[in-house]
Structure 1
Amino acid sequence: MNIIAIMGPHNAFYKDEPIRELDGALNAQGFQTIYPKDASDLLKLIEHNPRICGVIFDWDEYSQDLCSEIQLLNEYLPLYAFINTHSSMDVSINEMRMSMWFFEYGLGISEEIAQRIRQYTNEYIDTITPPLTKALFNYVKEGKYTFCTPGHMAGTAFQKSPVGTLFYDFFGANTLKADISISVTELGSLLDHTGPHLEAEEYIARTFGAEQSYMVTNGTSTSNKIVGMYAAAAGSTVLIDRNCHKSLTHLLMMSDIIPVWLKPTRNALGILGGIPKREFTKESIALKVAQTERATWPVHAVITNSTYDGLLYNTQYIKETLDVPSIHFDSAWVPYTNFHPIYQGLSGMSGERTPGKVIYETQSTHKLLAAFSQASLIHIKGDYDEQTFNEAYMMHTTTSPNYSIVASIETAAAMLRGNPGKRLINRSVERALHFRREIQRLREESEGWFFDIWQPEGVDEPECWAIQPGDEDWHGFMEADADHMYLDPIKVTILTPGMSERGVMADEGIPAALVAKYLDERGVVVEKTGPYNLLFLFSIGIDKTKAMSVLRGLTEFKRAYDLNLRVSNMLPDLYAQDPDFYRTMRIQDLAQGIHRLIREHDLPRLMLQAFATLPEMKLTPHQMFQQQVKGNVETVELAQLVGRVSANMILPYPPGVPVVMPGEMITEESRAVLDFLLMLCTIGKHYPGFETDIHGAKLTEDGRYLVRVWRSEAE
């Protein structure tokens, strides 16, 4: 971060010559100087090059207007205004709040000015660097010798081995020097929340609108378990979103609590909807408790916000309606909702305290912000027992945390502060909107078919679009609640031909798995693939180049599909899995073959039925896991699952949510769950390479899916 932008020269010797001298002095200080053509060019450079650490300009020529525009981009950026004896110093109070310094034009003083600029640049870097990251950087710069862990000793050990040197060169010196022991006292303690770690937590809480925040280094899977272990004592009852992440199922397996399920909706496309308003009422909860063995009134609730497909709740309604002491919003996929006005009221930390309740929000800082994998945050608003909560925190947190992950959490928060942070999120939203418009344009201009996009009409303005009753033609959710669920614009779902939002199957179709495989072979990885839809996430790291590669991939797929190329030419990796089967097959034959299978099994009806009736809970997940630990399980084929108690969670991709929980039994009433699973397996049996990924089931070499169940004699 050593680039200084200079607005000059000015074709006046008494101004140009001092600037030329200053240029040389700045270069001697290690700065790189650049000369924008005009103010517009300067603003674009600042917007697109965050390494610029200062701007030098002529006060008489640019004055207040330029300062105000720069402040909108980065209110912390140092500004250096050059004046002369005749300059008018009409500086407002607002401008004095900027990081602005004035220098007079003069010869022979360039070195002194350059030293001042170096000082102010260091102060700027110090201002924008958060506390723990700053302490870690300083520690690495000091280069202390340690006689504690980790054993590679700042990378020295790697350089003593041929393969170690490859590792060292790949990751770089600072990465390894920053991998330090918890014994380094000047960084404080992640477990005791002292020193720079405590400062980082306070810094993050202020940034995300929380009262207290905790940094977690093993992902939101761990954050979810920490909150659950604290919020629900053994023997208590918890309301849990049936579309929960599997980490919450693991929580239920670890802790002896009784789950009562909140059942969400979904549309025929398999897009995950939210929990209807009626599920949050006292009457609905009382009925569920009465129907669940050992259940009492819930002490805690867990809501997935947003859904995998990008639907956000009106969280205020949930906070006010749910009659439980604490509510946990699992917001792993939306750590950015506090930083753009379109998300107001749609996140766990939105608004003020909820009287008599504690609100938790867990976020995967690494998923859509700039943090390392496994970076996660817990935010809290409300009164809680900090000491007991910290016991749950330490229960799941290593005593040897990776400080680079911790620093990346804090840095991700720092990136979102102020005007630069607002601009980051705004760009993400704008790129997603631009991509949506491009898909619409290509669809209108294409001959024959083209991909569609899941969204309402008229999406020109940035907003979260409401899933309203009466708009089923675009969203496909029957009996939607008014002002309850909203679609996040940066979660972009592309639709392939073959099925409408209401589940009407066309005579011909292109299953989305074909498109996903085609894109993958061209370096574009899709987040989630449904039967006829593809999910793309427009995070802050997505730029126009990446977005254009998706558009190019989709248009190339259409061209190749319309030419009816051979599978061997269009999908060589798929062809390689079974050359004999795919040797003469063409892409349209493959697409229509899979489409016919989906039609024959009536996928839309089967999928909706599979999630309409839940399997019967015979044992809680905790009880079932204890049986599994004791060895009271056996293996059966998936087709034999009716009447048997599943030992594990069974979760197919797509749609990526559990259909059977540990301790549940598929009955004749819930037979559709098994029929749905078997239908997904059928596609892989007919077409190699399209085997369904089912967590909790083991696929054998001969194509059978095996599951573990509670042993018969134990039942």
Structure 2
Amino acid sequence: MKTILILTSNDAPQFKVEPIQELHAVMAEAGYDVVYPDSKCDALKLIEQNPRVAAVLFDWDDFGLALCSEISNLNEKLPLFGFANQNTVLDVSLTELRLNLNFFEYHLDQSEDIFVTIDQGIRAYVDDIVPPFTKALFKYVESNKYTFCTPGHLGGSAFLKSPVGSVFYDFYGPNVFKADVSVSMPELGSLLDHSGPHREAEEYIAKVFNATNSYIVTNGTSTANKIVGMFAAPAGSTIMVDRNCHKSLTHLMMMSNVTPIYFRPTRNAYGILGGIPKSEFTREVIEEKIAETPNATWPTYAVVTNSTYDGLLYNTEWIKKTLDVKHMHFDSAWVPYTNFHPMYQGKYGMSGETVPGKVVYETQSTHKLLAAFSQASMIHIKGQVDHETFNESFMMHTSTSPQYGIVASTEVAAAMMKGNAGRRLIENSVERALNFRKEIKKLRTETKGWFFDVWQPDTIDGPDCWPLKPTDGWHGFKNIDADHMYLDPIKVTVLTPGMSKQGTLEDTGIPASIVSKYLDDHGIVVEKTGPYNLLFLFSIGIDKSKSLKLLRTLTEFKRGYDLNLKVKVMLPSLYNEHPSFYEDMRIQDLAQGIHKLMRKFNLPEMMYHAFEVLPQQEMTPHQAFQRVLKDQTEEVYVEELVGQVNANMILPYPPGVPLVLPGEVITEDSVAVLDFLLMLIEVGKHYPGFDTDIHGAYKQDDGRYKVKVIKR
């Protein structure tokens, strides 16, 4: 951090200019970049947009306490140095002196002494903002120790003994390898024992995220979910699982001998994952599910996906008070930022106070929408647990050689969200998402013919999580509860033409998969592609230029589509994969061909029924997986699946949640599930390159799909 701002008036008298020029020379010699903002507004913009600003020097006579307050709103820890005339009266109260503020007088020949104080303030600032484990890791790397332990590359030196290793080393740079160290370093503590700087890091994170305790997980929220589940659901117990669960929770049920009963969520015609109705959380409905499930007892553990993939958040305070389960787990992989904006209050697991007699867990993918390395994840706990036993579950799933770079990035992600600077990051993210939404609506109004739309309420005001009201038609969900579900503005779902808000397919349409391929060819990766919708995540890493590029590329797609360009021009990657099929095809023919198939299969009705009735549970996922391990399975074609006990989960992407779980049977009552799978396969047959990725179904040489079932 080597940038210092100096803010003075343009007509400053010479007795002020000369000491500043003298100090500038000393700071420049020490390696600092000195910048002179044109105005107070310019200075504030520089602080907001340049996180490397390490200090601000300003004329107290001209700017005073008002400037300090505005800077504090952006970053209350930033060192401020006010220069004042010796005759100036400093009327500053004790409360105001709580700012990180120091004063100097304008004097010549004192620049060396003044710089020492400024440099000390900057070093103290950096020391203050760097969290404990990261600080210890930096210190270890700077010590440059010789080690005779793992990892074998020994700070990168092994790579430098090989030509290809040298290329690899040069790509990443030295500190990546120097910071990749062994658990044998006592000064860094232990992630498995939660000792030393590791323990300090987790205590630091817990405070930032409003948790009783927090744990750093270095293998993603898939692992975090299994750690929580293994602890909270002992063998033989009954658990309640969101049917929209991530596949890691299905894997938990396959690993652990538990009996699942399921929360039944909703879908709308767009295929957007809805929430679990309020009734599903009541004792009456849970008792009915227990009565219908062999060997089921009252559940000890429940897991709810919050938010859903598409950005729907629950009224978690209501769920925590209503659901009569001791261990309550919110899988919040997609929303690690909710603690840092007031609009999310009451809509996430760690919100509010501890619930007497209950333990609330929240698992978060730090790497998804905060700034951390891939696989960085966190477990937050609110309430009291036996931490020695919990740590046994933690160690079952955690490497004894964790990547310390991931640990540090998790801690830094938390440090970035502390205080006013973190609040501004989320505010900016929300603001960019709102601006993008408004631009889409504006273009839709101004553009001739068709344009894209956004899935949101008809009227959006300032930053807010918008409630899904039973009386509103925009969301497309049937019989939705009031004061229960809210749309996160950061998750932006863009709608393509072809489906009405009421869920009926129109005469013409543009399936979203075509737009997704076009965006990919132009360097834009979509988070999720539905039949007629595209999901974009406006994380803190999205800036105005990226948002504008997305808008521009969407308008360019419209232009090319309206000109009815050839597929080879519009979608070159698709054409290169299948040139003979797409040689003379035009983009409108491709869109209407796929849309016609959707109409033929009546996609909205088919999707609704596919998720309306669950397959019959013949055995638990654990029992089914044991049969798989004992090689008691066989393969059948997908169309022969009715009446068979499924061996693996079947998971079409999108939406990326299990459709059929291990041990379940598709019966005549749930045949709509099979019809939906066959429809997805049929589209891929007609149009190469538009196959749906279906986990658990294996494409054969003849183009048909097989699945594993349990031998009878």
Whether 1:340 and 2:348 are equivalent positions in the alignment is no
Shift of 1:84: 2.1
CA distance in 2, matches of 1:270, 1:403: 40
Counterpart of 2:57 in structure 1 is 56
- 2:48 aligned with 1:47: yes
Alignment partner, residue 573 of structure 1:
573
The residue type equivalent to 1:254 in the other structure is: M
Q: Paired residue for 1:606? A: 606
Q: Which residue does 2:437 correspond to in 1?
A: 436
Distance 2:275 2:136 in 1: 43
Which residue of the partner structure matches residue 393 of structure 2? 392
SS at 1:61 equivalent: coil
SS at match of 1:474: coil
Once residues 639 and 542 of structure 1 are traced to their aligned partners in structure 2, the CA distance between those partners, rounded to angstroms, is 44
Contact 1:27 1:33 in 2 (8 A): yes
SS in 1 for 2:390: helix
Partner residue in 1 for 2:476: 476
Q: Could you say which residue in structure 1 is the equivalent of 2:511? A: 511
Q: What CA distance in whole angstroms lies between the structure 2 residues aligned with 1:550 and 1:444?
A: 18
Name 1:583's counterpart in structure 2: 583
Match of 2:120 in 1: 119
1:641 maps to a residue whose letter is L
User: What is the rounded CA distance, in whole Å, between the counterparts of 2:388 and 2:318 in structure 1?
Assistant: 30
AA matched with 2:256: S
Q: How much has 1:109 moved relative to structure 2?
A: 1.2
Which amino acid in structure 1 is aligned with residue 81 of structure 2?
Y
Alignment correspondent of 2:91: 90
Matched, 1:27 2:53: no
Counterpart residue identity of residue 310, structure 2:
D
Q: What are the equivalent positions in structure 2 for 1:99-114 lying under 5 Å apart?
A: 99-114=100-115
Question: Is 418-427 or 6-15 further displaced after alignment?
Answer: 6-15
Show the counterpart of 1:413: 414
Aligned to 1:422: 423
* Matching residue of 1:36: 37
1:563 is aligned to 563
Aligned to 1:498: 498
Distance 1:530 1:97 in 2: 52
- What residue is the counterpart of 2:70 in the other structure? 69
Is residue 223–residue 378 contact of structure 1 (8 Å, CA) maintained in 2?
A: yes
Partner of 1:292: 293
**Distance (Å, rounded) in 1 between the aligned partners of 2:145 and 2:117:** 30
**1:112 match: secondary structure:** helix
Aligned to 2:688: 688
The residue correspondences of 1:449-488 to structure 2 (distance < 5 A) are 449-471=450-472, 473-488=473-488
Which deviations, in whole Å up to 9, do the C-alpha atoms of 1:270-328 show, x marking residues without a partner? Answer: 00000000111101000000100111110110000000000000001111111111100
Query: Displacement of 1:10 after TM fit?
Result: 4.7
Aligned to 1:554: 554
Q: Distance between the aligned counterparts of 1:673 and 1:430, measured in 2?
A: 40
CA distance in 1, matches of 2:683, 2:212: 50
* 1:279 alignment partner AA: E
Deviations along 1:161-191, whole A, 9 cap, x unmatched? 1110111011111111100001111011101
How much has 1:11 moved relative to structure 2? 3.2
Letter in 2 for 1:495: L
Cα distance in structure 1, aligned partners of 2:143 and 2:5? 31
Taking the aligned partners of 2:704 and 2:188, their CA distance within structure 1 comes to 53
Structure 2 counterpart SS, 1:240? strand
Q: Which amino acid aligns with 1:319?
A: K
CA apart distance, 1:116: 1.5
2:232 is matched with which residue?
A: 231
Aligned-CA RMSD value: 0.8
Matched residue, 2:220: 219
The answer for the alignment partner of 1:378 in structure 2 is 379
In 2, the alpha carbon distance for the partners of 1:215 and 1:500 equals: 44
Find out whether 1:620 has 2:603 as its counterpart: no
2:3 aligned residue: 3
Q: Which deviates further from its counterpart, 563-572 or 652-661?
A: 652-661
Deviation at 1:701?
Answer: 3.7
Question: How many Å apart are 1:95 and its aligned residue?
Answer: 2.2
State the distance in 1 between where 2:247 and 2:656 align: 10
How far has the Cα of 1:62 moved from its partner? 0.8
Runs of 4+ with >6 A deviation: none
CA contact (8 A) 1:60 1:88 kept: no
User: How far did 1:466 drift?
Assistant: 0.5
CA distance in 1, matches of 2:86, 2:306: 60
SS in 1 for 2:260: strand
Specify the code of the residue in structure 2 equivalent to 1:139.
Answer: Y
Q: Is the 8 A contact 1:522 1:553 kept in 2?
A: yes
Amino acid corresponding to residue 53 of structure 2 in structure 1: I
Instruction: Please report how far the alpha carbon of residue 14 of structure 1 lies from its aligned counterpart in structure 2 after TM superposition.
Output: 1.1
| 1:187 and 1:196 in contact (8 A); partners too | yes
Correspondence for 2:545: 545
Bigger Cα displacement from structure 2, 107-116 vs 609-618: 107-116
- Answer with 174-183 or 497-506: which moved more: 497-506
In 2, the alpha carbon distance for the partners of 1:85 and 1:23 equals 20
Map of 2:533 onto structure 1:
533
Equivalenced residue count is: 711
Q: Which amino acid aligns with 2:590?
A: L
CA distance in structure 2 between the partners assigned to 1:576 and 1:58 by the alignment: 63
Contact 1:267–1:501 at 8 Å: present in 2 too?
no
Paired-residue identity, %: 64
Counterpart position of 1:366? 367
1:660-699 map, 5 Å: 660-699=660-699
Determine the C-alpha separation between the residues in 2 that align with 1:165 and 1:502.
Answer: 59
Structure 2: how far apart are the matches of 1:670 and 1:52? 61
Q: Is the partner of 1:431 in helix, strand or coil?
A: helix
* 1:528-553 CA distance string (max 9 Å, x none): 00000000000000001111111011
Q: Unaligned 5+ residue runs, structure 1? A: none
Structure 2 residue aligned with 1:252: 253
Q: Judge which range, 295-304 or 651-660, deviates more.
A: 651-660
Deviations 1:646-676 (A, max 9, x none): 1100000122211100111111111000000
Measure how far apart 1:155 and its partner are.
Answer: 0.5
Q: Which amino acid aligns with 1:567?
A: V
Amino acid in the other structure paired with 1:626? Q
Q: Deviations over 1:606-658 (max 9, x none)?
A: 10000011011111110111100000011111111111111100000122211
Mapped to 1, the partners of 2:438 and 2:330 lie a distance apart of 32
Deviations 1:439-472 (A, max 9, x none): 000000100000010000121311000011011x
| Cα distance between partner residues in 2 of 1:144 and 1:402 | 19
Q: For 1:101, what is the secondary structure of its paired residue?
A: strand
Partner Cα distance (1:451, 1:90) in 2: 57
Q: Is the 8 A contact 1:269 1:500 kept in 2?
A: no
Q: Tell me the alpha carbon deviations over residues 17-54 of structure 1, each in whole angstroms, 9 at most, x when there is no partner.
A: 11001001001221110000111110010010010000
Alpha-carbon distance in structure 1 between the residues aligned to 2:417 and 2:272? 30
Is the 8 Å Cα contact of residues 10 and 16 (structure 1) preserved in structure 2?
A: no
Tell me, in whole angstroms, the C-alpha distance in 2 between the residues paired with 1:332 and 1:702: 38
Who is 1:302 aligned against? 303
Q: What SS does structure 1 have at the residue aligned with 2:207? A: helix
Distance in structure 1 (CA, Å) of the matches to 2:706 and 2:544: 44
Please list the CA deviations of residues 178-223 of structure 1 after superposition, one character each: whole Å capped at 9, or x if unmatched.
Answer: 0000111101110111111111111000000000000000000000
How far 1:709 sits from its partner (Å)? 0.8
Structure 2 match to 1:190: 191
Residue ranges of structure 2 left out of the alignment (5+ in a row)? none
Rounded to whole Å, the distance in 1 between the matches of 2:639 and 2:160 is 54
Structure 1 match to 2:134: 133
Counterpart-to-counterpart distance in 2, 1:660 and 1:154 = 47
Matches within 5 A, 1:173-184: 173-184=174-185
Q: Quick one: distance in 2 between partners of 1:695 and 1:548?
A: 35
SS in structure 1 at match of 2:669: coil
- Alpha-carbon distance between aligned partners in 2 of 1:274 and 1:119, rounded to the nearest angstrom: 53
